[in-house]
Amino acid sequence: MMGRAALSEGAAALASVSDTPFLDASLLLARALGTSRERVLAMGPEALDEAGEAAFRGLIARRISGEPVAYILGAKEFRGLEFRVDARVLCPRPDTEPLVETALEAALSLSAAGRAPVRIHDAFTGSGAVAVALAAELGDGASVSMSDLSPDALVLARENAGMLLGRELPARLSDCLEGVEGPFDLVTANPPYVTSSFCDGIYAAGGREPRLALDGGADGLDLYRRLVPRTRGLLSPGGVLAVEIGDEQGAAVSALFAEAGFAELAVLRDLAGRDRVVRGRAP
Ligand code: GLN
């Protein structure tokens, strides 16, 4: 089979399971051929050898069965860093970019106000994507720590920190900040926020990501109810809490912030214009 034809055939086969079939097919073909995605996209009419074709078909079949590309490749790019990712954690998503952007902005204004290095804690860290990206982008301007309820996730988060930063980040096993000691100037979190019934649908359709990372209870808000008041007690005066939210949760999560005494509340949007982050400041 010709390389180009393999790519369009693979993309067609993935159209019903993926929002990004061509991207997925090109990444999988690159892996099957042991080359880069750029090389695959520049491929001329040369034929795939039999082994390459068989490997590609195998990877396409795994994707069709519901396995995310990030799990198949064992890696996912986020904020320009190549994170190690597998079934122990949620795949880092572009959805989470606005959380990182919000946190960077908050960290820069805190350090301009004389709070350097900014003490940052990332709760529900999963693969460590948010914590490691912030540590990489802020360098000496921040001291970053992270926590997660899943020991398996924490192993991976530690690995990602070591691999991508060349140093360790303090990491603690914790149920929603329980036992975590502050004070922090900035707390970030992408807690599970999908409703349990929506999760049922995801898993009925072959979802592979850990339910622990997605299921936020009946209305998706269970973890915010615990996280927001608890964080308030861990923040220094003027400290900031920024959380990722589902696009219909802006009002409810803002109300929890207000109830816990946060001020300067803001709901921020993602690139698609959907509500994606709530931010507030401790008085
Ligand atoms: N944005 C994710 C999704 O919709 C949910 C992430 C989360 O629950 N924190 O799949």
182-241: per-residue pLDDT in tens?
A: 999 999 999 999 999 999 999 998 899 999 999 999 999 999 999 999 999 999 999 999
Per the CB < 8 A criterion, the answer to whether 163 and 139 are in contact is no
Which atom of ligand 1 lies closest to the CA of 216? 8
Homologous superfamily of 89-281: Vaccinia Virus protein VP39 (3.40.50.150)
Centroid of ligand 1 to alpha carbon of 136 (angstroms): 23
In ligand 1, the atom with minimum distance to the C-alpha of 190 is: 9
pLDDT digits (tens, 9 = 90+) for 75-119: 999 999 999 999 999 999 999 999 999 999 999 999 999 998 999
**177, 232 contact by CB (below 8 A):** no
Question: Tokens 């995310």 label which residue?
Answer: 68
Given this model, what pLDDT does residue 3 score?
74
Structural domain boundaries in the chain: 3-65, 89-281
| CATH 1.10.8.10, applies to 3-65 | yes
- Residue 196 CA to residue 215 CA, distance in Å, equals 5
pTM for this prediction: 0.95
pLDDT at site 1:
67
254, containing H or E segment: helix 250-259
Evaluate if residue 47 carries a pLDDT over 90.
Answer: no
For 92, 150, 164, 201, the CA distances from 79, given in Å and listed in that order, are 10, 23, 12, 30
The model's confidence at residue 43, banded by pLDDT at 50, 70 and 90, is confident
Instruction: Answer whether 93 contacts ligand 1 (Cβ < 6 A).
Output: yes
- Return the number of other C-beta atoms located less than 10 Å from residue 172's C-beta: 17
- Would you say residue 4 has pLDDT above 90? no
Does 220 contact ligand 1 (Cβ within 6 A)?
A: no
Residue 44 pLDDT more than 80? no
Q: Which atom of ligand 1 is least distant from the CA of 215? A: 8
Residue 56 has pLDDT above 90, yes or no: yes
Confidence of residue 5 (pLDDT cuts 50, 70, 90): confident
Work out whether the CA dihedral 183, 188, 194, 195 comes out positive or negative: positive
CA atoms within 13 A on the CB side of 194: 16
**Is there a contact between 185 and 120 (Cβ–Cβ < 8 Å)?**
yes
Return the HEC string of 37-89.
HHHHHCCCCCECCHHHHHHHHHHHHHHHCCCCHHHHHCEEEECCEEEECCCCC
